[in-house]
Chain A
Amino acid sequence: MTETQSLPPELASIADFIRQTLPFNALPEGEVERIVHEMEIGYFRNGHVFNENTRDQGLRILRSGAVEIRSQDGELLDRLAEGESFALSGLLQQEPGVRAVLIEDSLIYFLPQKAYQDLRGRFRDFDRFFHGQRSRRLFRATRSMVSPDGMLTPVTSLMATDLVTTSEETPVCELAEMMSSRRVSSALVLNDGRLSGIVTDRDLRSRVLAARRSPDTPVSEIMTANPVSLERKATLFDATLLMTRHRMHHLPVLEDGRPVGILTTSDLITARQDDPVYIVQRLSRQESVATMQTVLRDIPQFLLRWTDAGVPADQVSHILTAISDTVTNRLIEMALDELGPAPVPFAWLCFGSQARAEQLLNADQDNGLVIADEATDEDMAWFEQLATKVSDGLDECGYVYCNGNVMATNPFWRRRLTGWYGAVDNWVTSFSPHHVMEISIAFDLRTVHGDASLTSRVQSHMLERVRANSIFQAALAENVLEGSPPIGIFRRFVVERNGDHKDTLNLKKRGLLPIIEIVRLHALASGVDRINTLERLDELARGKHMTRYDARNLQDALRFLMQVRLQVQADQIREGEELSNYCNPRNLPKLAREQLRDAFQLVDSAQKSVRLAYRQGMR
């Protein structure tokens, strides 16, 4: 029998289409071909409705056309287009009365319930994709990330990708020239794109020079043929093991037989240097701003390694925050060395992202000082000097002066404890909308140096005042509702229309900040004293101020948005571009684009619930 009998060619083109759609692209080879035979094709007009009464339940994949998923009360839940799929039976379990309405004439591939359930039963990723609509999809994206554990990070995080490659016929002298001009100690020999050998400095020495061979000897005669190599997925642990076992210093990394990088013993040794603990340690030993600058200069490269190694974004932020804390601490210590000990107890505060431990690169400085009440006016002048020194040092270290002048150098943010109380009372009783936005950053605060009890007294005063003041809460809520997520009515991204950032989204302004602000509002209104947004959400759920489900969804959305922003910044570092929070959704992989949509929709519904919850106080 010929091939055509087992899989007719047109079915192969149907299979090709299906294989490109989510989540079928994750199925093992051969599965799609197998299920194609069980599928049916139907054509339906615009307006056709699938609901619980539809005779056949199963999975429907849109080959062409578009469909809207609507709730019982007609609310638009989702809009799907070509290549997307829905299973009513699953949707109905989540949302009774849900229906799918075609909004264009559509050609639909239908996988009957039995075959569909069979796939779900056998493939976990496939199952999870359909297990719930949007929240679960995000869940999968954030939870399946590997947490790197030193030696378990993939080799790709360390390997050099700038490869010197050559062919078997190349004369050794040419290769040697190439290697010295590119300053590498090894070269890979390729045959038809596949790795056939490796040549190292040592080979040139011992097999050419010492053996008195001609410089025109072809590479194939002196190379180590079929060298030991690693797959891309291997970990540093695997690499170390191989290198010790085979006593070798160069390990090619392959993907499908083709070299994608090379790992050397020295890479493994320097690997330890990007350990965050090591960096923090080194920073805390620096004696001057200049030497701190040198350590900090490498941070972008470290950030690349961490992201490549799959460190989740919230942890990267934690690390970066730990670094800025260390820098600040070190600067304060240096200033104290110069100015002598502080006359009265004080706390150096940080606000905003540093306080929440959600910093990324190019963060500016937001800081303040709480000074014990016994401080005299003379003492206050001393603190002004301290503030100036530290703030200048931070600026030199790359934490530029704050645009909004939220800095300890500004007397507004440098007060005695009672001064802070008065300021807080003033904020919550007489405020203007503009004002609310300005000071909302101050509700995220943390001690970086000094007497933390001063800070917690300011914080509990804030919580007390805001909690009791529903009008101020409403003002905060209005502020929260100002930025809306960039999703149009049909789940299309609303991108910037012109300017430098045309066709892009501001992830921070449109996604991260709304979540952070919503959560801050809930935390203040419920008296939750955590500062980190993820922790605030945990605490809100624990105190039943928010359902665990909503809290998880927001956590997932936040984690995902942070992840995308981190990825965007990593790419910008790699390309040598200026760092920004702008992302072009078109550059994202398909799944990530969907997840981004989901995340924005979660932000949207969180905003809606804010509107409901704080409406009474609103004008």
Chain B
Amino acid sequence: MWLTRARRERARRRYARHPFPDPTLQRLLASPWPDTNALWDEVDWLAIDLETTGLDPKTGYIISFGWVAVDRGRIRLDTARHLLIDSRNLVGDSATIHHIRDTDRSEGVDLPSALRMLARAMTDRLPVMHHAPLDTGFLRAAYREQFGMDWFQPTADTLVLEKKRLFQREQTMPGNVLRLNRCRERYGLPETNAHNALEDALACGELFMAWARHFGGDGPRVKDCLSRV
């Protein structure tokens, strides 16, 4: 976490001297480091999921975004968004590089607008994802590529949190116990036959709440939720 924080601080200082031209992004960059001693349900979170082609941000491309806010311990459906990224203008080579199949092509929002909307949603919220490294990698690459912005935000990863919880109790762990639906099952959450980004974001948000409610005591503090990077 200290590394994220250091990188973020550096970016912040840099952008403080030369404010970022886009006010939406500037606001995200300027948002303060969270109070890590606060209880999880005293702060606001944003459950995010991306659908991408491939696993490598260098060659993959974001097809869609889904997010929903988990504010003060509850999911607010009015914040739910599902954005398909317009990939029609990616033709020829660039489409091949990004592994965009014809079936992935869709009408939608262009990537910079989507990133701006996400930045607005993330302002004053902490991202939550299931298996975060993949998504943060794509996000960081996209923000840099589109805006030249260094995006570092402390995030919670439900997969990591769940793994930690299970490891405290069990020694061996079969391969797929950390799959989103398997995790949800353990908390009595209904099965989702997800496969779009918003469904996954919602499923992840619900899992996050369930995990936190099972934490014991008053619930986890923010620092208990955030991942080391």
Contact = CB atoms under 8 A, between A and B. Distances in A.
Interface of A: 2, 4-5, 8-11, 13-14, 36-45, 63-65, 104-107, 110
B77 A39 contact: yes
23 contacts: A2-B84, A8-B81, A8-B82, A10-B66, A10-B80, A10-B82, A10-B196, A10-B198, A10-B202, A11-B198, A40-B77, A41-B77, A41-B209, A42-B209, A43-B187, A43-B209, A44-B213, A64-B188, A104-B188, A105-B187, A105-B210, A107-B190, A107-B210
B214 interface: yes
Interface in B74-103: 74-78, 80-84
B196 A9 contact: yes
Contacts of A45: 213-214
B148 to A, nearest CB: 28
Contact of A64 (B189, B198, B201, B205): B189
Q: How large is the interface on B (under 10, 10 to 19, 20 to 34, 35 or more residues)?
A: 20 to 34
Nearest to B70: A41
A13 B192 CA distance: 10
Given A37-B77, A39-B77, A40-B75, A2 B108 contact: yes
A4 B214 CA distance: 34
A335 B104 CA distance: 89
A116 to B, nearest CB: 15
Contacts of B74: 40-42, 110
B107 interface: yes
The 7 closest A-B pairs by CB, nearest first: A8-B82, A41-B75, A10-B199, A43-B209, A10-B198, A42-B74, A40-B74
B77 A43 contact: no
B214 A65 contact: no
Contacts of B83: 4
A59 B137 CA distance: 40
A42 B84 contact: no
Nearest to A56: B74
Contact of B206 (A2, A107, A110): A107
A9 B187 contact: no
A65 B202 contact: no
B127 interface: no
Contacts of B106: 2
B214 A38 contact: no
A37 B78 contact: yes
A36 B77 contact: yes
A43 B219 CA distance: 13
A2 B196 CA distance: 15
Contacts of A65: 188
B208 to A, nearest CB: 9
Nearest to B69: A40
A13 B199 contact: yes
A36 to B, nearest CB: 6
Q: Of residues A5, A65, A107, which shows the largest number of chain B Cβ atoms within 10 Å of its Cβ?
A: A107
Given A37-B78, A42-B73, 13 more contacts: A4-B82, A9-B196, A9-B199, A10-B198, A11-B77, A11-B80, A13-B192, A37-B77, A37-B80, A41-B205, A43-B210, A64-B190, A105-B188
Contacts of B75: 40-42
A110 B209 CA distance: 15
Interface in B100-120: 106-108
Nearest to B195: A9
A39 B188 CA distance: 21
A230 to B, nearest CB: 41
A64 B83 CA distance: 28
Contacts of B108: 2, 4
B113 to A, nearest CB: 12
Contacts of A41: 74-75, 77, 202, 205-206, 209
Given A42-B209, A43-B213, A63 B198 contact: no
Q: Of residues B75, B209, B214, which shows the largest number of chain A Cβ atoms within 10 Å of its Cβ?
A: B75
Interface in B180-221: 187-190, 192, 194, 196, 198-199, 201-202, 205-206, 209-210, 213-214
Contacts of B80: 8, 10-11, 37
Contacts of B201: 10
A63 B75 CA distance: 14
A8 B198 CA distance: 7
Contacts of A105: 187-188, 210, 213
B166 to A, nearest CB: 17
A31 to B, nearest CB: 15
Contacts of B189: 43, 64, 107
Contacts of B196: 9-10
A45 B219 CA distance: 12
Nearest to A64: B190
A4 B77 contact: no
A41 B83 CA distance: 21
A45 B194 CA distance: 24
Contacts of A13: 192, 199
Nearest to A46: B188
A43 B207 CA distance: 9
Given A10-B199, A44-B213, A38 B77 contact: yes
Contacts of A8: 66, 80-82, 198
A63 B107 CA distance: 33
Contacts of A5: 82
Interface string B51-81: 0000000000000001000000111111011
Contacts of A106: 188
Contacts of A64: 188-190
Contacts of B206: 41, 43, 107
